[in-house]
Amino acid sequence: MNSITPQITAKPIAGALGAVIQGVGPLAEATDATIARIRELWLQHSVIFFRDQPLPPKEFVTFARRFGDVVHYPFLKGLDEAPEVITVAKLENERVNFGGLWHTDTAYLDQPPMATMLVARDVPPFGGDTLFASSYAAYDALSEGMKQLLEGLKAVNSSAKAEKTRTREDRKAGEERKVIEAEHPVVRTHPETGRKALYVNGGHTLRFAGMSEEESAGLLEYLFEHQTRPEFTCRFSWEPGSIAFWDNRCALHNPVNDYHGHRRIMHRVTLAGDTPR
């Protein structure tokens, strides 16, 4: 266990990314120094987790704002009491879960979110874990020849590619849903750490800029498979009041859909990002 202060500790859960943060006390009462330490740990581990922090929606937003500006998800309505918070739900009678494939959040926006926070409200008796993968580790493991090939390439990311994971809330507004697309570098430099990350994802990346989908398919499929190799990943099991806080600029995630017949209710907020470079 790596001690950061006598109170705050980070317990890594895998080699590539992910750590459980302990000793912070109630997050609603965190001092500025505690927030600064949490941010350092988040940048170090790409995704961090807290246990037993059942922040109500308004307090959840207040906590998130201490790390950046909170932004609205483009396709779902937020809670009445906290419009910045959306509900991520799968009910007992449903088979499709929200965002049920490897992806980074809303990569089809010109400025995708810097980060996402998710707090568990109601979890199934088994299953419902979330997988995370390090885009840093994926880039670092590429050959020098592949790195040279990808340098300077851009990819087109589209909201239309995520149609197969639409939830019941999405489907209600299906006729009005518009397609959003954005081009981003295939290799992204993190604005805070300076590290390079492989910035494509199977949920949104459609093709390379200037190429057709057919021409792009072979290399993209290789990259999608490469970036989720087991050694680049970690797995988190939820409990009510658990919080995950991930860096959308260098980590992918995939909620595992293995709890049919049970409900899973989460609340999510996203933090504003910059233009990938």
2-271: in CATH 3.30.420.40 = no
pLDDT in tens, 201-229: 999 999 999 999 999 999 999 999 999 99
* Predicted TM-score (pTM) of this structure: 0.93
The DSSP secondary-structure symbol of 160 reads G
Using one digit for the tens of pLDDT, what is the confidence trace for 28-85?
A: 999 999 999 999 999 999 999 999 999 999 999 999 999 999 998 777 889 999 999 9
Report the catalytic residues. Answer: 103, 105, 253, 268
Inter-CA distances, 210 with 91, 153, 161, 213, 257, Å: 41, 9, 18, 10, 35
Cα separations in angstroms, 250 against 8, 207, 266: 24, 20, 22
Locate the domains of the chain by residue range. 2-271
Give the torsion sign (CA, 210, 151, 187, 101). Answer: positive
